[in-house]
């Protein structure tokens, strides 16, 4: 085992690794992210392993289970590098053909290629696929080139060079200056300038300082942090070690969400490897700088994404926030100055240090530099992780990258920022996205979760869903959040049940404004956003529920009825047999009828009918 | 409740020794281990953990009841977890949950009388491309509908269990 004692030794190791890799020309990268694993990528990997050995090419091709390249919709993904031949939806039974044709004979397996939904054209190479064409994968790009459990993979791709540069050529002040100049803003969502935050913590009095990586990604629909910790944990570690050096901390913590076991596992392996190589621990790379990192597992509380609650949780208490000031940079973990940043913020650091602030700042808008990862999910053709320059428009994200809405349905809105964010409707699709524009539109950048909804989603019910979420996750410490969200939830529930009253909308607006102003922490201060933004853009839907007692999207159960179109019904009996409430009757080959008294509106008949004869109104 | 593992002080001795060195800050980690091992936090374990870590029982209890990952009631041998993240919700996971809940005769958070099955919900698994997702004992099943969930129950629920 090599303990790297100097910068030169790191360079030497990297050169040796690169030379060794040059002997093997091709890399077969199987996505090992949670999404592809759930679709069976592990069995694809095993099949490739044995098939490559069978066909005698095991030593000519490198096989790797890599991090996530983002295009979850089409998993399991297999990418063959360096050409970037892109196979999607690969199953274990496809593997013998893939190996024989592509790896042995150098031909393309047509059936595994991506098919463009619009043109029907098959596309062979990753860079030509529209999903990737507009992306700028600074943070995610390395994911599909390395095995996240291998530190040598990361080093051979230039990993830890930024750390080495920082430790040997830059003072801590230089590092902070570079991060400040780069214009990096907190990627957790609030957008506070990172360099400034670091400087405050560095200048805070005290010998003991801590840094924390917030990997408690609780926003439903967002999974970029997971993809990064799972897919390239060393990049995160490198960012943390550089940050520790700049801030003057001796210890760092990564708070990982309990629901992400693979991320915690890969991160744990990365920490052990970094220690072995002398990149963590005492006297890192011979610089005299001592630093170590520990993992803390969360236990399923959304509020722990809030920084003061997160620190309370690390200290072994309930995750309840406390008022600020004092800010963590003055008094944080165990009362010591503490700098907290999100996974993506830390992972940006090596890029800034290595390439320089000026190069980093070339991407982005006037006020917000760099790239931003969005998870584009919901009613969208190309679900996945998308990394684009800040300032890209929503339309580009939803239609060019995301491929539009499936099933010929109409786009209705995109919800950004999760339970703290808001909905943005069609008319603002051309807005370039940055921190300020989103806030002006009543949403927020947040972690970058972006849920697309179509005409079938009722915006009142959608708002109710988020309110239900925050109400359950409210820690209960402050009254506006604990009781205010409950009151809002009660009104919203009543509206979706067809018992709305005139004045409800005004009441929600007033209460929402008060909760925003008077709640203790970010959870409460942003909790009304999903409601306020849907009222702002979809007030007509609220009014239809309240005044007309109808749900325009046909989604709210108490406001809809199921019936059967006698013209279309063939009397096949499928629905009749499966109806759990026995509410359907009718003779064979005669039109069936639904008994409204018995109907529980479960939707089974709608799902089953092959003749579109079930009508919801 | 024949299927519950019995709580044995000896088994968590190592955990406790490790915890004693770190006090409060190891409380969560120790409770997480106990939860993983027994699928709940037995009362005796909470008392013991408090004594050994030097943490007031009130604090241990408040931590044990604050976080969703902990349970004071025994969980079933098999766990069915329905994702209610936003992406799954807009694709219809509520209907999936309703159907499973209806078939098992238990509400989310409850366990069948024979101690075999627990029905849980989760706020997002981050595998949104597969939504709606149902996880049975760690295995992901994607693109669920109410009808497919029913089939899944029939396939994955062990014999002799009412479903």
- Using the beta-carbon criterion (under 8 Å), do A319 and B66 form an inter-chain contact? yes
Q: What is the pLDDT of residue B2?
A: 44
* The CATH number of the domain covering residues in A371-454: 3.10.20.600
Tokens coding B82 = 């329905």
pLDDT tens for each residue of A511-521:
999 999 999 99
pLDDT tens for each residue of A436-486:
999 999 999 888 999 999 999 999 999 999 999 999 999 999 999 999 999
Does domain B78-156 match CATH 3.40.30.10?
A: yes
Residue A188's pLDDT band (cuts 50, 70, 90)? confident
Q: What is the pLDDT of residue A587?
A: 92
Task: Tell me how close the Cα of A57 comes to any Cα of chain B, in angstroms.
Answer: 32
CA distance B48 to A398: 54
Of the candidates A139, A148, A141, A140, the one whose C-alpha atom is nearest the C-alpha of residue A273 is: A148
Per DSSP, the residues of B57-97 read: HHHHHHHHHHSTT--SSPPPSEEEEEE--HHHHHTTHHHHH
Q: With beta carbons under 8 A apart, name residues in chain B contacting A302.
A: 123
Residue matched to tokens 């700028």: A136
Beta-carbon count within 10 A of A514 CB: 13
Q: With beta carbons under 8 A apart, name residues in chain B contacting A317.
A: 24, 59, 62-63
Architecture of the domain made up of A459-547 = Up-down Bundle (1.20)
CA distance B152 to B104: 12
Mean pLDDT of A284-301: 95
- Residue A194 scores a pLDDT above 90: yes
* The CATH number of the domain covering residues in A561-616: 3.30.70.20
Give the burial class of B110: count Cβ atoms within 10 A of its Cβ; 0-12 exposed, 13-18 middle, 19 or more buried. Answer: middle
- Using the beta-carbon criterion (under 8 Å), do A316 and B89 form an inter-chain contact? no
Q: What is the pLDDT of residue A77?
A: 96
Task: Break chain A into its structural domains and give their ranges.
Answer: 9-145, 159-360, 371-454, 459-547, 561-616
Tokens coding A601 = 């509106």
Q: What is the pLDDT of residue A457?
A: 94
> Which of B66, B122, B129 shows the shortest C-beta gap to A318?
B66
- Residue B156 scores a pLDDT above 80: no
Mean pLDDT of A129-138: 93
Architecture of the domain made up of A159-360 = 3-Layer(aba) Sandwich (3.40)
- Using the beta-carbon criterion (under 8 Å), do A258 and B32 form an inter-chain contact? yes
What is A9-145's CATH number, 3.40.50.1440, 2.60.40.10, 3.20.20.70, 3.40.30.10?
3.40.30.10
DSSP A99: I
Of the candidates A523, A527, A543, the one whose C-alpha atom is nearest the C-alpha of residue A535 is: A543
Q: What is the pLDDT of residue B129?
A: 85
Supply the mean pLDDT for chain A. 94
Of the candidates A55, A369, A28, the one whose C-alpha atom is nearest the C-alpha of residue A194 is: A369
pLDDT tens for each residue of A395-418:
999 999 999 999 999 999 999 998
Q: What is the pLDDT of residue B163?
A: 43
CA distance A579 to A575: 6
Of the candidates A437, A347, A352, A353, the one whose C-alpha atom is nearest the C-alpha of residue A387 is: A347
- Using the beta-carbon criterion (under 8 Å), do A73 and B95 form an inter-chain contact? no
The residues, ordered by sequence, that sit 6+ positions from A192 with a Cβ below 8 Å of its Cβ are A185, A186
- Using the beta-carbon criterion (under 8 Å), do A299 and B23 form an inter-chain contact? no
> Which of A37, A73, A219 shows the shortest C-beta gap to B129?
A73
Beta-carbon count within 10 A of B107 CB: 9
> Which of B32, B123, B130 shows the shortest C-beta gap to A39?
B130
Q: What is the pTM of this model?
A: 0.94
Residue A60's pLDDT band (cuts 50, 70, 90)? confident
Domain with CATH 3.40.30.10 in chain B: 78-156
Q: What is the pLDDT of residue B4?
A: 56
Q: CA-nearest residue of chain A to B140? A: A38
Task: Tell me how close the Cα of B99 comes to any Cα of chain A, in angstroms.
Answer: 8
Q: With beta carbons under 8 A apart, name residues in chain A contacting B68.
A: 299-301
CA distance A515 to A104: 64
Say if CB B97 and CB B145 are below 8 A apart: no
Strands of the sheet containing B78-83, edge to edge, are: B117-122, B78-83, B134-136, B139-141
- Using the beta-carbon criterion (under 8 Å), do B66 and A475 form an inter-chain contact? yes
Task: Tell me how close the Cα of A73 comes to any Cα of chain B, in angstroms.
Answer: 5
- Residue A4 scores a pLDDT above 90: yes
Tokens coding A524 = 């409460």
């Amino acid at each position: 085992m090599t303990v790297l004692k100097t910068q030169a030794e790191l360079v030497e190791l990297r050169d040796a690794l690169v030379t060794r890799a040059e002997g093997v020309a091709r890399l077969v990268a199987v996505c090992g992210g949670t999404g592809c694993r759930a679709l069976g990528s592990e069995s694809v990997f095993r099949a490739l392993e044995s098939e490559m050995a069978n066909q005698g090419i095991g030593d000519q091709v490198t096989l790797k289970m890599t991090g996530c390249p983002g295009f979850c919709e089409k998993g399991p993904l297999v990418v063959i590098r360096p050409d970037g031949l892109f196979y999607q939806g690969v199953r274990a039974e496809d593997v013998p053909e893939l190996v024989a044709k592509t790896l042995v004979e150098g031909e393309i397996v047509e059936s595994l290629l991506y098919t463009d939904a619009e043109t029907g054209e098959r596309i062979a190479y990753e860079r030509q696929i529209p999903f990737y064409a507009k992306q700028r994968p600074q943070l995610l790009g390395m994911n599909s080139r390395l095995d996240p459990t291998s530190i040598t993979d990361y080093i051979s791709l230039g990993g830890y060079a930024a750390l080495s540069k920082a430790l040997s050529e830059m003072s801590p002040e230089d590092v902070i200056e570079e991060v400040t100049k780069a214009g990096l803003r907190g990627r957790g969502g609030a957008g506070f300038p990172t360099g400034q935050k670091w400087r405050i913590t560095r200048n805070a009095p005290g010998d003991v300082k801590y840094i924390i990586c917030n990997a408690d990604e609780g926003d439903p629909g967002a999974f970029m942090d997971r993809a990064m910790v799972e897919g390239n944990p060393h990049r995160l570690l490198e960012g943390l070690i550089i940050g520790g050096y700049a801030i003057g901390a001796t210890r760092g913590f990564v708070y990982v969400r309990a629901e992400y076991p693979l991320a915690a596992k890969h991160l744990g392996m990365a920490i052990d490897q970094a220690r072995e190589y002398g990149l963590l621990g005492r006297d890192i790379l011979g610089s005299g700088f001592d630093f170590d990192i520990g993992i803390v597992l969360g236990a399923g509380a959304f509020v722990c994404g809030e920084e003061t609650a997160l620190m309370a949780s690390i200290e072994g208490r309930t995750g309840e926030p406390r008022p600020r000031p004092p800010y963590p940079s003055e008094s944080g973990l165990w009362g010591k100055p503490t700098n907290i940043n999100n996974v993506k913020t830390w992972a940006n650091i090596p890029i800034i240090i290595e390439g320089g602030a000026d190069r980093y700042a070339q991407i982005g808008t006037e006020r917000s530099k760099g790239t931003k990862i969005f998870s584009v999910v919901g009613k969208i053709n190309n679900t996945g992780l998308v990394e684009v320059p800040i300032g890209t428009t929503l339309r580009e994200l939803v239609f060019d990258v995301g491929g539009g809405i499936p099933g010929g349905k109409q786009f209705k809105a995109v919800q950004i920022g999760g339970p703290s964010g808001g909905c943005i409707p069609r008319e603002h699709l051309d807005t370039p996205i940055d921190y300020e524009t989103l806030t002006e539109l009543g949403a927020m950048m947040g972690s970058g979760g972006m849920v697309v909804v179509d005409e079938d989603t009722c915006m009142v019910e959608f708002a109710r869903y988020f309110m239900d979420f925050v109400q359950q996750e409210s820690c209960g410490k402050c009254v506006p959040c604990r009781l205010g969200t409950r009151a809002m939830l009660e009104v919203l529930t009543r509206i979706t049940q067809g018992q709305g009253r005139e004045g409800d909308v005004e009441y929600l607006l007033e209460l929402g404004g008060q909760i925003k102003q008077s709640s203790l922490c970010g959870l409460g201060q942003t909790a009304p956003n999903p409601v306020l933004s849907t009222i702002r853009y979809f007030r007509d839907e609220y009014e239809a529920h309240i005044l007309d007692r109808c749900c325009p999207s046909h989604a709210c159960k108490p406001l809809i009825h199921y019936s059967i179109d006698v013209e279309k019904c063939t009397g096949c009996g499928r629905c009749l047999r499966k109806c759990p409430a026995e509410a359907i009757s009718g003779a064979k080959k005669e039109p069936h009828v639904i008994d409204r008294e018995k109907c529980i509106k479960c939707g089974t008949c709608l799902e089953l009918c092959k003749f579109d004869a079930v009508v919801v109104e | 409740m024949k299927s519950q593992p019995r709580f044995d002080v000896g088994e968590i001795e190592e955990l406790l020794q490790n915890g004693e060195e770190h006090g409060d800050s190891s409380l969560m980690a120790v409770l997480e281990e106990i939860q993983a091992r027994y699928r709940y936090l037995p009362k005796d374990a909470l008392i013991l953990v408090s004594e050994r870590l030097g943490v007031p029982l009130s604090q241990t209890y408040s931590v044990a009841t604050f976080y969703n990952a902990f349970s004071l009631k025994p969980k079933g041998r098999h766990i069915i977890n329905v994702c209610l993240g936003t992406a799954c919700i807009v694709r219809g996971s509520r209907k999936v949950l309703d159907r499973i809940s209806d078939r098992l005769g238990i509400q989310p958070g409850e366990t069948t009388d024979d101690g075999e099955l627990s029905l849980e919900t989760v706020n997002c698994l981050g595998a949104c491309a597969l939504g709606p997702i149902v996880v049975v004992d760690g295995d992901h099943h994607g693109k669920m509908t109410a009808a497919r969930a029913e089939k899944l129950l029939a396939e994955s629920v062990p014999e002799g269990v009412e479903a």
